[in-house]
Chain A
Amino acid sequence: MKRKLISKKNIISVAIIAVLYILIQVLINGGYLSRQMMSVIIPLCYNVIMAVSLSLIVGVLGELSLGHAAFMSIGAYSSALFTTKFELPEFIALPLALIIGGLCAAALGFIIGIPVLRLKGDYLAIVTLGFGEIIKSIFNFLPITGGSKGLSGIPIYTSYRNFGLVFLITAVIVLLIKNLLDSRHGRVFAAIRDNSIAAQATGIPVGTYKTMAFVIAAFFAGIAGVLYAHNVGILKPGNFDYNMSIEILVMVVLGGMGSIGGSIIAAVILTLLPELLRSFADYRMLLYAIVLIALMLFNNSSLKKKLIEKRQMSRQEKSEKEGE
């Protein structure tokens, strides 16, 4: 089976991305956006990347990772150390930083991929949480990362002034992951999620695929970390904690697990909402908790089954009518 890169789906996606890009550029250049909104654009992009990449592990592979922020921190720190130590011109430094950040995070993804081969479900979730904590302690401990004082003086390459580039990176990552899922590999992931033992029995190298998902997700989270580091300019180990991993998880769950488009919408909403409702911040975490519980209950309720059945029925009727 051959994959067509220039498929109808891809053309539509690219078209949507292009329209979005032009729209946002018009908004920026036309002065329609306040500074507040401009400063949200970059977080919007890296949150989308984080949500989409976590969606690969949680939604597509069906494993829970509670340490996604750790991948981001690896990407952020490794790239920031590179750009602060070697003061190269921006057009060389930034691409290299993106590659370094992505690769370092991917390497960690590979290391975490080892237990992934042996563990699943609850145990795997707790191991990813443990990894996140270990990495946080190490960043606090190492003198080179500035410890708790943080790593500051990072050159600002990816602020909203460089929006076009950041948007392009985000769009490319989203398209890559979307194409990966539409490919043969994507169906393999789904097979592993639905029944890993059966998948193994049909000759799928389950271990390799699971590790691959972690490595890919980690790579993209690392790139999100690079964007974060060069937007904020200062990194602190405490910012990449369990709460951040949970926030990203909420995006994936809210978006409908496994749906890339859903993850993007949820990431956008959950990044903009706290900005629009600043005084609401105290209740945000409580709301997230309720969202997590409610969506899980709804997803597995008979109500949802009924709704799906209803929709299928109406669809059938429609197609019958069209057939007449």
Chain B
Amino acid sequence: MKKMISTTLATLTLVAALASCGNNANTSGAKESETGSSDAKTSDVSTSSATDVFKVGAIGPLTGPAAAYGISVKQGAQIAIDEINAAGGVTVGDKTYSFEMIFEDDEATEDKAIQAYNTVMDKGINVLMGAVTSGSSIAIADLTKADGIMQLTPSASAENAIKNDNAFRICFSDPEQGVAMADYMIDTLGKTKVAVIYNNADEYSTGLGQAFEEEVAAKGGTVVTSEAFATGDMDFSSQLTKIKGTDAEIIYIPAYYQDATYITKQAKEMGITLPFIGSDGWDGVLGTVTDTTTVEGAIFSAPFSASVEDDHVKTFVDAYKKAYSDAVPDQFAADGYDSIYTFKAAMEKASSIESADLIAAMTEITVNGLTGDNITFDASGAAKKEVRYVKITDGAYAYA
């Protein structure tokens, strides 16, 4: 008897839960202003005249270990949206559209990304900005293709994140960046013997490391040793000892700033004086080192740096600091910002807000963004822009 009651209860809970959610979603179409998204902050635009709102769905981690990236993208994009809306919106044909963003959390996991994607689709979005991370972008790629919606990822750098023809990206792909750094090291810095330390549990780090090593070999350089570590590792002394025993002239660390902080500190303690080069994940390293001399002279590829003298960048950084209690925008914020302006450019070029027209217009637009002066897109969906390098000089970032 007891079991029967519990099973019946289970049934009722499930049905009630499913049904109630179903009802919510159904009514949300009719009464938008009431349901809205869970983040009321993003939808500060009036929703009274629904036809004039261009809805950007967005997916990224707002919680969990990767939350910082999603939050940055969201905040950066919001700055762009506020700018555009304040300037009167986007005129397409005889209509003017204001932007609205609906951002859903995916915790940077693939299964949650699918749920987040379906959630934003329920809210009737026009285009999708996302996902912020590579795995999530790949997980939803075929769904966005089936829905025929334009997908623009600000920061998913894995090669096959944009394998479908409806998908585009703002940032460089991992191989592009790794190859660029290898060329820069050999051609500009004149070093040929390099040691690599990468995170083999992280696809960004692995992707960059592999592309870098292949390019170095192709250009006649030598990778004297390639050392791996795992996410969460704090001790790199074994790897550094091995590097110390080689004739490496330079150390390449394609990883995030936290790892770079540990590695450079421990290298200095061990008496290693070789120069460091890194990837765009290094941006922010000066905020986590306790002694800036450990990273002095390090060079990393970085499409955006908040501390660079540039009017466009300065306007953005000021607005960002004002909106988010003095937080300094990182590259993810800049990617989010550029994504919104890319949508705007595509809308104006296509004179339409239909995904199919926007996708067709993408190869014809040029965006003057924060992460590149004249960004264009090729048919594969990749952004074409110049690679920039930042060098840490006297404890501050500066373009190399």
Chain A residues in the interface with B (C-beta under 8 A): 9, 12-13, 16, 19-20, 23-24, 27, 31-40, 43-44, 137, 140-141, 147-150, 152, 156, 228, 231-239, 259, 261-262, 264-265, 268-269, 272, 275-276, 278-279, 281-282, 284
Tell whether B201 is near chain A: CB-to-CB under 8 Å. yes
**How many residues of B sit at the interface, in one of the four size bands?**
35 or more
Tell whether B277 is near chain A: CB-to-CB under 8 Å. no
Q: Are B18 and A238 in contact (CB under 8 A)?
A: no
Q: Are A40 and B115 in contact (CB under 8 A)?
A: yes
B216 to chain A, nearest CB (A): 20
Out of B3, B14, B63, B118, name the residue touching A39 (CB < 8 Å): B118
B160 nearest in chain A by CB position: A152
How far is B114's CA from A20's CA once the two chains are assembled, in angstroms?
A: 24
How far is B115's CA from A272's CA once the two chains are assembled, in angstroms?
A: 11
Q: Are B139 and A232 in contact (CB under 8 A)?
A: yes
A69 to chain B, nearest CB (A): 12
Out of A38, A39, A156, A281, name the residue touching B142 (CB < 8 Å): A156
Do A265 and B6 form a contact, CB below 8 Å, given A34-B122, A149-B207? Answer: yes
Q: Are A279 and B39 in contact (CB under 8 A)?
A: yes
Q: Are A36 and B122 in contact (CB under 8 A)?
A: yes
Q: Give me the 7 closest cross-chain CB pairs, A-B, nearest first.
A: A34-B25, A35-B118, A281-B63, A261-B6, A32-B22, A39-B118, A36-B119
Tell whether B203 is near chain A: CB-to-CB under 8 Å. yes
Chain B 8-27, CB-CB to A under 8 Å as 1, else 0, gives: 11110111011101111110
- Which residues of the partner chain A approach B19 to less than 8 Å between Cβ atoms? 27, 32
- Which residues of the partner chain B approach A261 to less than 8 Å between Cβ atoms? 3, 6-7, 9-10
- Which residues of the partner chain A approach B28 to less than 8 Å between Cβ atoms? 34
Q: List 5 A-B contacts (CB under 8 A).
A: A32-B23, A35-B121, A36-B119, A149-B158, A261-B3
Tell whether B231 is near chain A: CB-to-CB under 8 Å. yes
- Which residues of the partner chain A approach B158 to less than 8 Å between Cβ atoms? 149
- Which residues of the partner chain B approach A35 to less than 8 Å between Cβ atoms? 25, 118-119, 121-122
A19 to chain B, nearest CB (A): 7
Q: Are B203 and A34 in contact (CB under 8 A)?
A: no
How far is B118's CA from A38's CA once the two chains are assembled, in angstroms?
A: 8
Q: Are A33 and B21 in contact (CB under 8 A)?
A: yes
How far is B8's CA from A291's CA once the two chains are assembled, in angstroms?
A: 24
Q: Are A236 and B206 in contact (CB under 8 A)?
A: no
Tell whether B156 is near chain A: CB-to-CB under 8 Å. no
Out of A20, A43, A140, name the residue touching B230 (CB < 8 Å): A140
How far is B220's CA from A39's CA once the two chains are assembled, in angstroms?
A: 50
Most chain A CB within 10 A, of B10, B62, B122, B199, is at B10
- Which residues of the partner chain A approach B119 to less than 8 Å between Cβ atoms? 34-36, 275, 278
- Which residues of the partner chain A approach B200 to less than 8 Å between Cβ atoms? 140-141, 147-148
Q: Are B160 and A276 in contact (CB under 8 A)?
A: no
- Which residues of the partner chain B approach A265 to less than 8 Å between Cβ atoms? 6, 9-10, 13
Do A259 and B6 form a contact, CB below 8 Å, given A34-B21, A37-B21? Answer: yes
Tell whether B366 is near chain A: CB-to-CB under 8 Å. no
A286 to chain B, nearest CB (A): 12
Do A36 and B105 form a contact, CB below 8 Å, given A149-B158, A231-B111, A239-B110? Answer: no
A23 nearest in chain B by CB position: B15
B57 to chain A, nearest CB (A): 12
- Which residues of the partner chain A approach B201 to less than 8 Å between Cβ atoms? 140, 148, 237-238
Tell whether B138 is near chain A: CB-to-CB under 8 Å. yes
Contacts A147-B203, A148-B205 supplied; 4 other A-B pairs, CB < 8 Å: A33-B21, A37-B22, A268-B14, A281-B107
A172 to chain B, nearest CB (A): 16
Q: Are B203 and A148 in contact (CB under 8 A)?
A: yes
Q: Are A236 and B135 in contact (CB under 8 A)?
A: yes
How far is B39's CA from A264's CA once the two chains are assembled, in angstroms?
A: 31
B278 to chain A, nearest CB (A): 18
Tell whether B259 is near chain A: CB-to-CB under 8 Å. no
A137 nearest in chain B by CB position: B230
B254 to chain A, nearest CB (A): 12
Q: Are B21 and A150 in contact (CB under 8 A)?
A: no
B124 to chain A, nearest CB (A): 11
Do A147 and B206 form a contact, CB below 8 Å, given A141-B200, A234-B110, A234-B135? Answer: yes
Q: Are B21 and A36 in contact (CB under 8 A)?
A: yes
- Which residues of the partner chain A approach B24 to less than 8 Å between Cβ atoms? 34
A256 nearest in chain B by CB position: B6
Q: Are A9 and B3 in contact (CB under 8 A)?
A: yes
B5 nearest in chain A by CB position: A261
B14 to chain A, nearest CB (A): 5
Q: Are A233 and B38 in contact (CB under 8 A)?
A: no
Most chain A CB within 10 A, of B25, B114, B139, B206, is at B114
- Which residues of the partner chain B approach A39 to less than 8 Å between Cβ atoms? 114-115, 117-118
- Which residues of the partner chain A approach B230 to less than 8 Å between Cβ atoms? 137, 140
Out of A32, A228, A231, name the residue touching B26 (CB < 8 Å): A32
A148 nearest in chain B by CB position: B203
Do A236 and B22 form a contact, CB below 8 Å, given A261-B10, A262-B6? Answer: no
How far is B118's CA from A34's CA once the two chains are assembled, in angstroms?
A: 8
Tell whether B330 is near chain A: CB-to-CB under 8 Å. no
- Which residues of the partner chain A approach B14 to less than 8 Å between Cβ atoms? 20, 44, 268
A146 nearest in chain B by CB position: B203
Q: Are A281 and B62 in contact (CB under 8 A)?
A: yes
- Which residues of the partner chain A approach B21 to less than 8 Å between Cβ atoms? 33-34, 36-37, 272, 275-276
- Which residues of the partner chain A approach B25 to less than 8 Å between Cβ atoms? 33-37
Tell whether B30 is near chain A: CB-to-CB under 8 Å. no
How far is B69's CA from A26's CA once the two chains are assembled, in angstroms?
A: 40
Most chain B CB within 10 A, of A19, A35, A150, A265, is at A35
How far is B142's CA from A259's CA once the two chains are assembled, in angstroms?
A: 39
Q: Are B26 and A16 in contact (CB under 8 A)?
A: no
- Which residues of the partner chain B approach A279 to less than 8 Å between Cβ atoms? 38-39, 105
- Which residues of the partner chain A approach B207 to less than 8 Å between Cβ atoms? 149
- Which residues of the partner chain B approach A27 to less than 8 Å between Cβ atoms? 18-19, 22
B22 to chain A, nearest CB (A): 4
How far is B267's CA from A67's CA once the two chains are assembled, in angstroms?
A: 36
Q: Are A148 and B122 in contact (CB under 8 A)?
A: no
Do A20 and B15 form a contact, CB below 8 Å, given A38-B118, A140-B230? Answer: yes
